[in-house]
Chain A
Amino acid sequence: MTALLTILIVLFVAVAIWQMVKIFNLAQVGASNSQIADDNDNRINGYLMLGFLVFIYGITIVSFIYLGDQPLISNSASEHGPGLDNLLIISFVVIFIVQIITQFLLHYFAYKYKGEKGKKALFYADNNTLEAIWTGIPVIVLAGLIIYGLFTWNDIMTVDEQKDPMIVELYAQQFNWKARYGGDDNVLGKANVRLIDLDNANILGVDESDPNAQDDVIVTELHLPVGKPILFKMRSQDVLHSAYMPHFRAQMNCVPGMVTQFAFTPTVTTAEMRQNPDIQNKVKNINELRVERQAEIEEAGQDLLYEFDYLLLCNKICGKSHYNMQMKIVVETQEEFDAWIKEQKTFENSLLN
């Protein structure tokens, strides 16, 4: 129904445009029929350029007001998150300063120097000082951003084995995620898709004879102890997937035929995050919207009310159900985690025979 309504609106807009064109053309009668801009065109379009500048600023402000409150800029839940967010904010400040100034100059000049008959432009072809200035300034600013960025990148990507990270395998397949813990020895058993034995419920292709594999734990909900460095090892059994954990500022592709990795330390438990005022606000906002669409949501068989959870999403196009390839992440205290993992079946016990 809404779709039909929109099509109608679009049709009306089309008709309106059509009419405007007619008016434009009628207004032309009597004027010279040259299709080259005259002083009148220059003036009108000059003013429109100013108007467009206001529009650009306006849409920026409106976007910030309605969409600016983003979980990706604040409220990170990993140790490296705040550093990354700082870099993002600094980059944004630089970008916005440049954007505001250059868009102003561009559109203001387009208005200020709109053509008039008989006026002559300034013959001004070159100025090495100016060129040097606007080559030099970007060089300096970018050098700063590059250095800051590379330090941040290095910090994130360097895995400190000294800290004894917990090893977790993220296993991707069309269209779901599994996680495998190293178990008590914190060592993942060897695995290869050629060892997959569905009849024996060995779905990840873990080597059944590997002693390190026996205590591995395979789950469909990712639990992480807060404050503990986690080293993720990613695998995929079929096509490219990407393990995207936006709240932790973490992402890495899962590539068939190789093991990729990414490490971070979660710093905020799910329970704590649910108490965060920003998140509560967001959840409240989302639930208000969901109540408006109640019928539709219930028809789709979803829970009406949304409760905050960390998520792992697939972020590399992987086929038909790419849009629904997700896994819940629970960050909890070490004690809660220990209790949870104790309840899970070890690999050894999960096999059918």
Chain B
Amino acid sequence: MSATGDTHVQDDHDVHHHKETFVTKYIFSQDHKMIAKQYLITGVIIMGIIGILMSLMIRMQIAWPEQPNVIFESLLGKWAPGGVMDADIYLALVTIHGTIMVFFVLTAGLSGTFSNLLIPLQIGARDMASGFLNMISYWLFFLSCVFMIASFFVEAGPAAAGWTIYPPLSALPLAQGGSGMGMTLWLVSMAIFIASSLLGSLNYIVTVINLRTKGMSMTRLPLTIWAFFVTAIIGVISFPVLLSAALLLIMDRSFGTSFFLSDIFIQGEVLHYQGGSPVLFEHLFWFLGHPEVYIVLLPALGITSEIIATNSRKPIFGYRAMVASILAIAFLSTIVWGHHMFISGMNPFLGSVFTFTTLLIAIPSAVKAFNYITTLWKGNLQMNPAMLFSIGLVSTFITGGLTGIILGDSALDINVHDTYFVVAHFHLVMGISALYGVFAGIYHWFPKMFGRMMNKNLGYLHFWVTAVCAYGVFFPMHFIGMAGLPRRYYTNSNFPLFDDTTNAQLVITMFALVGGVVQIVFLYNFISSIFYGKKAEQNPWKSNTLEWTAPVKHMHGNWPGEIPHVYRWSYDYSKPGHDDDFVPQNVPMKEGEEELHH
């Protein structure tokens, strides 16, 4: 059945009017709203739970190294004999935690959910440009999740070379158990993932360019759409490079080529590899890897822009500067990858160049932060949970971003490279910030997705405990890093030099455990609200964007009758001359009303 059987879509767009079965509606759906929900459940919720559980196990191992733990015993089975975590599985946890959080939760989960949900709804389109490609994109993603999880069940364990899988460690099963079948599955999973991501991104780009409704000029696009659009472009530019790196690595591993390997003597034998260089892999990896940070971050910032404006009842401050800074960040993000490689052995002169470009990125980032703060100024702030997470995002974005000034400086990087300082930095600036973006988006668009409201008090509890724990975990971690403690150490007990950080490690683990447990509150709120939440009104947050002009009940084609036309930008909040403190985009200009600089 069609979602609303009697509505006829009479528009320029395709008429979706075939019979829907359970399978086509819920499983092989081509409807962008359903695909968004599928991404949300698979990418954010399920993979998120797995990724967070791993991080908690990592933290427990660091706080109580080599001690028996019932949790390890029950979750890790043979890799925790007697409940004591094995050193190999520790590295595997670190690796898969990073992979899952960066790629599956914060790339596919975040973009997949919100780009899919919001792009058609906010630009006034019936659906994505290609519903079929969209469906393929999701199912490829699902497949890649299956492969990644499956790697936990192979004999020698999952990939354990770090999420950056630098060869030769990742290329030689002789170097590490996880570099056997586990790494093969990792590479296959990522190759499928990249295919999924490319199909999704192409779809987003085409949809934004071609399917905007009448009046929706690029300069009237909500910042969410700008962010998703630019993110998709960065993805299309950079993900293929990772794919080629992965393919070359597969060849080195299985077909005896020497792209990344040379002069290796391991376990008593000289291997045949000659002439390759691991540094080449690092270049290829980070050519994706650094833009990837912004693929994770920009959608979160876009979501934040929308939520902060709506809940401040004010226009976002400096719309054009915000768009310009998104574009500047996107451009710069592709020429800074070398700051991950200052001490990789590449020419020091290159280090100077990358220091320069890297610190430039601080400028558009600073503009964004100041614009958010100014948007709050003299607002009428509605402290909904989504708003709290957005403010929290700005806070962690600043705290985490500032330490980037240290790490981006090649000279200073010498001494903090690969220490806990780095762990603290990137978790705050891209991990926690992007996660806050996901949470903010879920709280804000839950009514749009499920037609019901989430419980706000649970939302408050969720935010405040999470916010305190996030700082509690990652702020002291900077100092541990400055004490010189390298990351990815299974235990620090072989270095009495670092004994004075053990108490801080314990405190951090406590914060992490509480922060992890409080996510159960969110999970409960999320699931119970889907079924028992208060029924949502059409436009609960009194927002201007087009998705709130669509009926609460989902239908194929999004709007009954004609697609709304757009007459203004999406930020006419508290505009003088209007009775309400919001003016939706589909309200025509009054006579003599001025449109702001568009």
Contacts and interface: CB of A to CB of B under 8 A. Distances in A.
A323 B486 CA distance: 9
B369 interface: yes
B381 A46 contact: yes
Interface string B356-393: 10011011001101111110111111111001100100
A291 B316 CA distance: 58
B175 A319 contact: yes
Contacts of B343: 242, 251-253
A342 interface: no
A187 to B, nearest CB: 21
Given A67-B501, A106-B394, A258 B277 contact: yes
Nearest to A158: B348
Interface in A100-127: 102-103, 105-107, 109-110, 113-116, 119-127
A242 to B, nearest CB: 7
B352 interface: yes
Nearest to B516: A10
A175 B459 CA distance: 48
B412 interface: yes
A317 B471 contact: no
A139 B365 CA distance: 12
A306 B373 contact: no
Contacts of B67: 2-3
Contact of A306 (B278, B371, B496): B496
B344 A255 contact: yes
A149 B411 contact: yes
A138 B366 contact: yes
B381 A114 contact: yes
A127 to B, nearest CB: 8
B352 A131 contact: no
A95 B418 contact: no
Contact of A300 (B166, B468, B489, B493): B493
Contact of A45 (B276, B460, B484, B504): B460
A194 B265 CA distance: 8
A250 B342 CA distance: 12
Interface residues of B, number: 153
B126 interface: no
Contacts of B403: 95
B449 interface: no
B378 to A, nearest CB: 4
A142 B360 CA distance: 8
Contacts of A174: 175, 266
B381 A42 contact: yes
A170 to B, nearest CB: 13
A14 interface: yes
Given A3-B67, A253-B344, A320-B91, A98 B496 contact: no
Contact of A134 (B87, B278, B370): B370
Contacts of B133: none
Contact of B461 (A20, A55, A205, A314): A20
A48 B317 contact: no
B355 interface: yes
Contacts of B359: 142, 145-146, 149
B49 interface: no
Contacts of B478: 63
Interface stretch (A83-91, A178-186, A214-222, A345-353): A83-91
Interface string A29-71: 0000111110001101110110010011001100110111011
A207 to B, nearest CB: 14
B315 interface: yes
Given A37-B383, A123-B576, A320-B87, A240 B415 contact: no
Given A37-B456, A106-B391, A116-B380, 8 more contacts: A6-B64, A36-B540, A41-B384, A110-B376, A110-B383, A124-B314, A156-B414, A306-B497
Interface of A: 2-4, 6-7, 9-10, 13-14, 17, 20-21, 24-25, 28, 33-37, 41-42, 44-46, 48-49, 52, 55-56, 59-60, 63-64, 66-68, 70-73, 84, 87-88, 91-92, 94-95, 98-99, 102-103, 105-107, 109-110, 113-116, 119-127, 130-131, 134-135, 138-139, 142, 145-146, 149-150, 152-154, 156-158, 173-174, 192-194, 196, 198, 205, 234, 237-240, 242, 244, 246-247, 249-253, 255-258, 260, 282, 285-286, 289-290, 300, 302, 306, 311, 313-324, 326
